[in-house]
Chains A and B, each alone.
Chain A
Amino acid sequence: AQSVTQLGSHVSVSEGALVLLRCNYSSSVPPYLFWYVQYPNQGLQLLLKYTTGATLVKGINGFEAEFKKSETSFHLTKPSAHMSDAAEYFCAVSDWNAGGTSYGKLTFGQGTILTVHP
């Protein structure tokens, strides 16, 4: 089974500073990777995803992530934090069944709460 580890349950940055949220995955097959954001008392919204192709993936709201197979990482970055970025961020990987088919089960990391200070 696949797994995801998010390093740092809380990250705090100043407005305008670089945002870096770390995600490492474990997968025996090429992974499908996702970053979701959750604002308080809301559902999850997709920021970006990696399936195949270009390893630098651009998402919404100025976020991007780079898939690094050698490091089994998929870190999320944003050059300049905004107050509205304060939320919880989840990295997720799609699971694969024993038959080698990727199916709809998402396994999420434990989440990283991003705080942005003025």
Chain B
Amino acid sequence: DTEVTQTPKHLVMGMTNKKSLKCEQHMGHRAMYWYKQKAKKPPELMFVYSYEKLSINESVPSRFSPECPNSSLLNLHLHALQPEDSALYLCASSQSSGGANEQFFGPGTRLTVL
């Protein structure tokens, strides 16, 4: 299984809602990532988990809260988002967080904040 799955595919939420994005991989990878991709822009790294510990937070606002319950699962909890947070949220995984490792991307969750 060389797939990264993400749910839901689409999400519409109000600014007062709380929602979560889910990412799963069964490749035995020990590094997992969240990226944000605005329209017509490249992906931007948000968080990196290595061996289930948060290793990189790219100064992301606290309304985004990542969680890595186990080595296969990565969640992104959303609370009090702003319309400018609307974007495609991509999850990725790699064998380890070393820079030479290929990152496998999921299909993304398209988030719209009203």
Residues in A lying within 8 Å of B, measured CB to CB:
32, 34, 36, 41-46, 49, 51, 90, 94-96, 101-106, 108-111
Identify the closest chain A residue to B31 (Cβ): A104
A52 to chain B, nearest CB (A): 8
The answer to whether the Cβ of B97 comes within 8 Å of any Cβ in the partner chain is yes
Q: How distant is B32 from chain A, measured CB to nearest CB, in Å?
A: 9
Looking at chain A's contact residues, the main secondary structure is strand
Known contacts A103-B55, A104-B50, A42 near B42 by CB under 8 Å:
no
Contact between A43 and B102 (Cβ–Cβ < 8 Å)? no
Can you list, as one digit per residue, whether each of B38-77 has a CB less than 8 Å from chain A (1) or not (0)? 0011111100101000011010000000000000000000
* Residues of A with C-beta under 8 A to B81: none
Most buried by A among B50, B94, B101, B103: B103
Asked if A45 and B102 sit within 8 Å, CB to CB, the answer is: no
In the complex, A43→B108 CA distance in Å?
6
CB of B107 within 8 A of CB of A43, answer yes
Q: How far is the CB of B12 from chain A (nearest CB, A)?
A: 16
Known contacts: A103-B55, A108-B43, A110-B42. The answer to whether A44 contacts B98 by CB under 8 A is no
Q: Is the CB of A106 within 8 A of B103?
A: yes
Chain B residues whose CB sits within 8 angstroms of the CB of A103 once the complex forms: 48, 55-56, 97-99
A94 touches B99 (CB 8 A): yes
